[in-house]
Amino acid sequence: MTTQKNAFKQIAITAARAGDSKKAENVRVYDLCNKSTLADFAVLMSVESAPQLEAVEEEVLVKLKHEGVYCLHKDGMRSRNWKVLDYGGTLVHIYDAKAEEFYSLTKVYADYKPVEWEEKAPAPAPQKAAPAAKKAPAAGKAPAAKKPAAKKAVKRTVRKAAPKKAARKTAPKKAGPAKKNAKKK
């Protein structure tokens, strides 16, 4: 039973990370075990627009499919403000601010235990102490003189002049008497 719960938890975490990668906001994972008959885990994430909702949904489907996990049922396929992806023991809710406000989803899941899904950045390694003092020059030797820094070559770009559209539309000029006189001189 615990391996199945761990599998559903991993699905929820992967879905949360996929939504986060597409800039979903307020991404939360809740443990519903022993409190809900629908699922063991729920993932909630909000989006700002219908195109973002589609992008987040697609990213979740692709990431989990890549892991070998397929969505069993999709609800809200025609909806532009809330979709639910059912992975058996994990439900993924993707919704906009209007749906969150109307259904008070944060209140619905307020009694459930939140699950940490974000990857924690590794702690920075302690830096080694700097050497106590610089080496003094050997006796009788003068310190080496610094060389002047070389000047960097300036790279110039040449812009190509775009042909004028008006010049293409006009008829070619005929050689008039002024050009004939210029040739004679």
Helix (H) or strand (E) holding 42: strand 41-47
Phi, then psi, of 159 in degrees rounded to 5:
-90, 135
- Eight-class DSSP state of 23: T
pLDDT tens series, the chain, 185 aa: 578 888 999 999 999 999 999 999 999 999 988 888 889 999 999 999 999 999 999 999 999 999 999 999 999 988 889 999 999 999 999 999 888 888 888 788 888 888 988 776 555 555 655 555 555 555 555 555 555 555 555 455 545 555 555 445 555 555 555 555 555 54
Beta bridge partners of 47: 96
Per DSSP, the residues of 64-127 read HHHTT---SEEE-TT-SSEEEEE-SSEEEEEEEHHHHHHHTHHHHTTTSEEE--SPPPPPPPPP
Burial class of residue 160, CB neighbours in 10 A (0-12, 13-18, 19+): exposed
Residue ranges per domain, the chain? 2-110
Residue 184: is it exposed, middle or buried by C-beta count within 10 angstroms (0-12/13-18/19+)?
A: exposed
Decide yes or no: CATH 3.30.460.10 for domain 2-110.
yes
Q: At what angle do helices 2-21 and 50-66 cross, to 10 degrees?
A: 140
